Amino acid sequence: MAIVRPFKAIRPTRDKANLVATRSYLSYSDETLKEKLEHNPFTFLHIINPNIKQKGKNKFNAVKAKFNDFKEAGFFITEDTESFYIYQQTNESQNFEGIIGATAVADYLNGNIKKHEHTITAREKMFKSYLDTTGFNAEPVLLCHQKNTAVTNLIQNYKVTRAEYEFATTDKTIHKLWLVNSTKDINIIINSFKSIDNLYIADGHHRSASSALLAQNSTKKNSPYFMSFLIDENQLNIINFNRLIKHTNGLTSYELIAEIEKSYTVIKKGNIPYSPTITDEISMYIRGTWYSLVLLSENIEQDCVSKLDPAILSNNILAPILNITDEKTDKNISFESGTTPLSIIANKIDSGEYEIAFILKPISISALKQVADNNRFMPPKSTYIEPKLRSGLTIYSLE
């Protein structure tokens, strides 16, 4: 049973929603960030990045002060009644829609909200301090769940009405948000999620862990819950992360391929970018040539983590052949989202910036859930999951 509840969001006025909402400031180059801060006085970046020279609690206090400035200037309103929010994000190839609400920390602690990634203790503590100091959270955790007909039907009913927000961003994405504040519809959502056994974290493992950490000793009224975007698991777009390696560990191309052939069937594919398509296959690019690598049957694992492509690559090539044993800290490996064209990845190899590229397939939602259900964790950078949510559209006050 999943516990969700409505909340009184702090959110931009209708005329400023498109100007306030922003991607994470970490996703912007320094030049782009500077430009946005100089030319848009309403962007939420002014709040979450008030002074890049400040760190720790001093920065968090500056965030809180700037947030209060925005509220006092009338850029934000606070909802009169507790509400859920239907959010839709549509681009040229994808449509994502679901419910923004407050989910229970208790569900995270008792395992009803399941995770598939490790979290770093220092980051948990840092974000806990951020939440405690600022008193708000402005980016929902992305949670997925099994399809629920009642929730789907309710969303469809609202979509034919006028949205509270409707705007486009420069990446050609349309954003819409509807308020759900009728008692009848609120109860439909609450009761529908009571019939859902588990929620799965798709994005936001550290935000969830930090909220749980805060709730254990906080007196803040709303700390037993955290804001989340709840979406049908079939809507998620799970993208692969590819691996770029800076060295061959002293091996020639011939020697490297000979070592790889102890675990894989290696087929030369030529100079046309090649993506893997079949089970237990990855592709490799080195010295201007693409290869198909298919794991030999005797090396196939059945364990829910070991059978994933990132683990197969680590266990059969990265660690034993290239001496990359800790992918989280080794500076000789980089991770490139599957959204990056293979031609650009090939250019990085051809330029000498990297020596080898390994291309992986996306991991399925069923595999992700199997890992989470078994209380296991995926290798680092196994998935890049969409939708990526904007900060500042709905803000969850902890006070």
- For the residues of 80-128, what is the DSSP string, one character each? SS-BEEEEEEE-SS-EEEEEEEEEEHHHHHHTSEE--S---HHHHHHHH
pLDDT at 56: 82
Contacts of 92 (CB under 8 A, 6+ apart): 172
Structure tokens, 214: 């805060």
Is 360 buried (19+), middle (13-18) or exposed (0-12) by CB count in 10 A?
Answer: buried
Domain ranges of the chain: 4-238+385-397, 241-361
Structure tokens, 378: 């995926």
Cis omega (within 30 of 0) for bond into 387: yes
Q: Which CATH class is domain 241-361?
A: alpha beta
How far, in Å, CA of 231 to CA of 146, rounded?
9
Percent of the chain with pLDDT over 90: 88
How far, in Å, CA of 143 to CA of 154, rounded?
18
Q: Per-residue pLDDT tens for 300-357? A: 788 999 999 999 999 999 999 999 999 988 999 999 999 999 999 999 999 999 999 9
Top pLDDT among 191 and 28 is at 191
Top pLDDT among 108 and 49 is at 108
Average pLDDT, the chain: 95
The H-or-E segment that residue 76 falls in is strand 76-78
Contacts of 235 (CB under 8 A, 6+ apart): 95, 96, 97, 98, 144
How far, in Å, CA of 67 to CA of 76, rounded?
9
**Stated pTM of the model:** 0.92
pLDDT at 298: 83
The H-or-E segment that residue 262 falls in is none
| pLDDT band at 33; cut points 50, 70, 90 | confident
Beta bridge partners of 225: 104
